[in-house]
Protein backbone atom coordinates (compact mmCIF):
# COMPACT_ATOMS: atom_id res chain seq x y z
CA UNK A 1 0.00 0.00 0.00
CA UNK A 2 1.41 3.36 -0.91
CA UNK A 3 1.24 6.41 1.37
CA UNK A 4 -1.42 8.11 -0.81
CA UNK A 5 -3.84 5.21 -0.38
CA UNK A 6 -3.27 5.17 3.37
CA UNK A 7 -3.96 8.88 3.74
CA UNK A 8 -7.10 8.59 1.65
CA UNK A 9 -8.37 5.73 3.80
CA UNK A 10 -7.57 7.65 6.97
CA UNK A 11 -9.34 10.74 5.66
CA UNK A 12 -12.43 8.75 4.70
CA UNK A 13 -12.54 7.17 8.15
CA UNK A 14 -12.35 10.63 9.72
CA UNK A 15 -15.23 11.90 7.56
CA UNK A 16 -17.35 8.89 8.51
CA UNK A 17 -16.69 9.43 12.21
CA UNK A 18 -17.54 13.14 11.95
CA UNK A 19 -20.75 12.25 10.12
CA UNK A 20 -21.74 9.78 12.83
CA UNK A 21 -21.07 12.34 15.55
CA UNK A 22 -23.08 14.99 13.73
CA UNK A 23 -25.97 12.54 13.30
CA UNK A 24 -25.94 11.67 17.00
CA UNK A 25 -25.91 15.33 17.95
CA UNK A 26 -28.81 16.12 15.60
CA UNK A 27 -30.76 13.19 17.04
CA UNK A 28 -30.21 14.51 20.57
CA UNK A 29 -31.35 18.01 19.56
CA UNK A 30 -34.48 16.57 17.91
CA UNK A 31 -35.31 14.60 21.05
CA UNK A 32 -34.80 17.65 23.26
CA UNK A 33 -37.01 19.81 21.00
CA UNK A 34 -39.80 17.23 21.08
CA UNK A 35 -39.68 17.00 24.85
CA UNK A 36 -39.60 20.79 25.26
CA UNK A 37 -42.71 21.07 23.05
CA UNK A 38 -44.40 18.67 25.47
CA UNK A 39 -43.56 21.05 28.32
CA UNK A 40 -40.94 18.87 29.99
CA UNK A 41 -38.24 20.43 32.16
CA UNK A 42 -34.51 20.11 31.63
CA UNK A 43 -34.11 17.69 34.59
CA UNK A 44 -36.95 15.51 33.24
CA UNK A 45 -35.38 15.49 29.77
CA UNK A 46 -31.95 14.60 31.16
CA UNK A 47 -33.45 11.76 33.17
CA UNK A 48 -35.50 10.38 30.28
CA UNK A 49 -32.60 10.60 27.81
CA UNK A 50 -30.06 9.44 30.39
CA UNK A 51 -27.81 12.39 29.59
CA UNK A 52 -25.78 14.73 31.76
CA UNK A 53 -28.27 17.07 33.51
CA UNK A 54 -25.96 20.10 33.30
CA UNK A 55 -25.42 19.63 29.57
CA UNK A 56 -29.18 19.29 28.96
CA UNK A 57 -29.86 22.38 31.11
CA UNK A 58 -27.41 24.45 29.03
CA UNK A 59 -28.87 23.21 25.76
CA UNK A 60 -32.44 23.92 26.92
CA UNK A 61 -31.41 27.37 28.09
CA UNK A 62 -29.95 28.14 24.66
CA UNK A 63 -33.06 26.86 22.90
CA UNK A 64 -35.42 29.31 24.65
CA UNK A 65 -35.32 31.63 21.63
CA UNK A 66 -37.05 28.85 19.64
CA UNK A 67 -39.92 28.58 22.13
CA UNK A 68 -42.74 27.55 21.95
CA UNK A 69 -42.46 25.78 18.57
CA UNK A 70 -38.92 24.42 19.05
CA UNK A 71 -38.74 23.80 15.31
CA UNK A 72 -36.19 21.01 14.93
CA UNK A 73 -34.93 22.12 11.53
CA UNK A 74 -34.47 25.72 12.69
CA UNK A 75 -32.62 24.57 15.81
CA UNK A 76 -30.30 22.28 13.85
CA UNK A 77 -29.63 24.97 11.24
CA UNK A 78 -28.80 27.50 13.97
CA UNK A 79 -26.46 25.05 15.68
CA UNK A 80 -24.73 24.34 12.36
CA UNK A 81 -24.21 28.06 11.80
CA UNK A 82 -22.74 28.37 15.29
CA UNK A 83 -20.56 25.31 14.80
CA UNK A 84 -19.13 26.73 11.59
CA UNK A 85 -18.31 30.02 13.28
CA UNK A 86 -16.79 28.19 16.25
CA UNK A 87 -14.96 24.94 15.75
CA UNK A 88 -17.92 22.60 15.62
CA UNK A 89 -19.62 20.22 17.95
CA UNK A 90 -17.79 19.05 20.99
CA UNK A 91 -17.18 15.43 21.82
CA UNK A 92 -19.37 15.80 24.91
CA UNK A 93 -22.51 15.54 22.83
CA UNK A 94 -23.38 19.21 22.72
CA UNK A 95 -22.48 22.02 20.38
CA UNK A 96 -19.47 23.94 21.67
CA UNK A 97 -21.56 27.10 21.79
CA UNK A 98 -23.64 25.42 24.51
CA UNK A 99 -20.65 24.48 26.62
CA UNK A 100 -19.41 26.29 29.64
CA UNK A 101 -16.20 28.21 28.93
Q: Is residue 16 part of a domain?
A: yes
Write out the chain's pLDDT in tens, 101 residues: 555 566 888 889 899 998 999 999 999 999 999 999 999 999 999 999 999 999 999 999 999 999 999 999 999 999 888 877 765 444 444 555 554 43
The Cα–Cα gap between 32 and 51 comes to 11
Q: Is residue 55 part of a domain?
A: yes
Q: Is residue 78 part of a domain?
A: yes
Percent helix, strand, coil in the chain (nearest 5)? 70, 0, 25
Provide the number of structural domains found in the chain: 1
| Domain membership of residue 70 as a residue range | 3-86
Q: Is residue 39 part of a domain?
A: yes
pTM of the predicted model as reported, rounded to 2 decimal places: 0.73
Amino acid sequence: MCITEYNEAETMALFKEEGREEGQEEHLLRQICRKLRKGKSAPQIADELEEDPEMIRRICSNLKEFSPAYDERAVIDAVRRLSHSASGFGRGGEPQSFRRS
